[in-house]
Amino acid sequence: MERLVKFELLGQQFSFYTAAPEDEVAEIINMVTRLVEENSGGKSGTISVGKIAVLASLNMASNYVELRRRFERHKEETDRRIGLLSAAIDKGLSTGKES
């Protein structure tokens, strides 16, 4: 069931509806808050809120791309190992039949 979530960021109130678990929402809000604070340079008012949001979005996208690439490499390595293991099992089974 969806619920309304409210939070404050850079002195502004935000709210949205979500059905995500509370701990997941808290983790997301904490991540966004951290990234926005990192990109604002700790100087409120120096950089526009829009620019801070774009910089934070770019950082999140960068993290996502890196994780996606790591996942693809892991998946490829796992598939390779499964292939080797499957070949070894097939070889062992065919050798066992000859005995």
User: 31 in helix, strand or coil?
Assistant: helix
pTM: 0.66
Please give the average per-residue pLDDT across 44-61, as a whole number: 83
Task: Please tell me the predicted confidence (pLDDT) of residue 99.
Answer: 55
Task: Please tell me the predicted confidence (pLDDT) of residue 71.
Answer: 98
Flag whether pLDDT at 93 surpasses 60: yes
76 contacts: CB under 8 Å, gap ≥ 6: none
